[in-house]
Amino acid sequence: MQHAELISALERIVGKQGVVSRSDELLVYEYDGSLDTHLPAVVVFPETTAQVAEIVKLANLAGLPVVPRGAGTGLSGGAVAACGGIVVTTTWMNRVLSVDYANRRAVVQPGVINYELTHRTEPQGYFYAPDPSSQKVCTIGGNVAENSGGPHCLSYGATTNHILDLELVLPSGEVIHTAADEGEQQGFDLTGAVVGSEGTFGIATQITVKLTRLPEDIRVLMAIFGSIDEASNTVSAIIGAGIVPAALEMMDGLCCKAVEAAYHAGYPPDAGAVLLVELDGLRESVAELDARIQTICRQQGAREVRSASTAAERAALWAGRKGALGALGRLAPNYYIQDGVVPRTKLPETLRFVEEVARDIALPIANVFHAGDGNLHPNILFDRRDVSSVERTLRGGMEILRHCVDQGGVVSGEHGIGLEKRDHISYLFTTEDLAAMARLKQCFNPRALFNPDKIFPPLRGCGEVRDQRVAARLAKEGIYAC
């Protein structure tokens, strides 16, 4: 099949308006929020499950990779077309299909923006709990692929805890549901297996999610510290006291400066670190926990504890926290965000190690992260136009991830493995572990055409290497194997 034939076939499925194939237009889809860039052969915008299934069947005939893509906000290269092929973008599948308040669930298409579901259900007293910092632009389908977290996953859990059923287009083009009609699991937990599989098992075209009741009361505290060590020790003290806040976030002084300059939300630019603590629940219990946490913060050395007394003040503090990555653009042209996790008690030591790495690579590192569950987000600030800067950035990121594993942690808390960490996952798993996971992937994706070269180190069997080399050579000539 020639390239022109492929484009014509895709246009018959989704219409001309749903196909992007010009090289200048494809540049928009060669990257996500990570460093890697790869140009796809074509991008398509289906609107129905049937269209997705037809696209997948066509890709199978042509021997082309298929890369599912949401809003492109991912931070590990998951939506990057590492081997070219067809990028299937689900942003046109953006309808809330049904909301069942009595049973606290909703059925949505994958292109629904995360925050839009909460915005729609709040007037009825409900919300969708998973809240990545990009929630105003990221899609629920992308969240499913990466098992996204967010500040409130400390108490509410990550995406996987809120998904009841998936309508899934498999790499063969077959359409299945991962659970029974009412979202109940029967037999193996296929839903749990698919969430977080990063588009290697299939494309979710309908998603049944849990809705959560809005709490009676919400309070947000900001505790200001002179050092990261004091703030880190406070995190352990709060959790050690048996208190699990709705969210427990930390920002270092460098982040506070950038955020305050950008948002004027009340973050002290002279602080060593701040903790942002959100409490929710019954009014009486929230008031009690508020007093206990303020006491703990002061005992651990907080110079001040501020309480947001209005919804507007709470919103301003959260706007600063969730907009922190954008604010870092004031400090450097680019940032490289890591996503390692360590036990909470290891936070002080690990953050000191991050400081050592910053000195070693001679680049600033700004820390803003989910302190309550030890999910670090050190942001290495650099200029990708400087080759030496890029090399030092990648080396620093590798050292931080290895240190997280050495401390008893993992290489990703919520961003996924994708391209970025596929060569680092062996820090955490043995060859036997990786082989077992690869066998599971092969059950869903036997030809390795769905999101190839993601998650696992690029060690392939001879047949797969041969097939991909042939496909790559033919693709360069504008020919696709049938």
Cα dihedral sign, 358-363-364-365:
negative
Give the CA dihedral 128, 110, 413, 214, nearest 10 degrees.
0
Amino acid at 431: T
Give per-residue burial for 18-29: e unless 16+ CB within 10 Å, then b: bbbbeeeebeeb
Please report the pLDDT score of residue 478 as a whole number.
52
273's enclosing H/E stretch is strand 273-281
Distance CA 322, CA 18 (A): 32
Distance CA 423, CA 224 (A): 38
Domains of the chain as residue ranges with CATH: 96-213 (3.30.465.10), 217-326 (3.30.70.3450), 332-406 (3.30.70)
Render pLDDT for 19-74 as a digit per residue (tens, 0 to 9): 999 999 999 999 999 999 999 999 999 999 999 999 999 999 999 999 999 999 99
Contact 300, 241 (CB under 8 A): no
pTM of the model: 0.93
164's enclosing H/E stretch is strand 163-169
Give per-residue burial for 408-419: e unless 16+ CB within 10 Å, then b: ebbbbbbbbbbb
Please report the pLDDT score of residue 301 as a whole number.
98
Render pLDDT for 373-415 as a digit per residue (tens, 0 to 9): 999 999 999 999 999 999 999 999 999 999 999 999 999 999 9
Please report the pLDDT score of residue 187 as a whole number.
79
- Residue 432 structure tokens: 């036997």
Closest CA to 145 of 68, 45, 212: 68
66's enclosing H/E stretch is strand 66-69
Question: Could you tell me whether strands 212-213 and 126-127 are parallel, antiparallel, or unpaired per DSSP bridges?
Answer: antiparallel
Contact 30, 43 (CB under 8 A): no
Please report the pLDDT score of residue 180 as a whole number.
80
Of the pLDDT bands very low, low, confident and very high (cuts 50, 70, 90), residue 186 is: confident
Percentage of the residues of the chain whose pLDDT score is greater than 70: 94
Distance CA 480, CA 62 (A): 5
The CB-side HSE value for 194 (13 A sphere, CA atoms) comes to: 28
Please report where in the chains the tokens 């994958």 appear, as a residue.
110
Render pLDDT for 124-162 as a digit per residue (tens, 0 to 9): 999 999 999 999 999 999 999 999 999 999 999 999 999
Question: Could you tell me whether strands 163-169 and 175-177 are parallel, antiparallel, or unpaired per DSSP bridges?
Answer: antiparallel
- Residue 211 structure tokens: 């809705």
Render pLDDT for 430-482 as a digit per residue (tens, 0 to 9): 999 999 999 999 999 999 999 999 999 875 443 343 344 444 444 544 555 43
Please report the pLDDT score of residue 1 as a whole number.
78
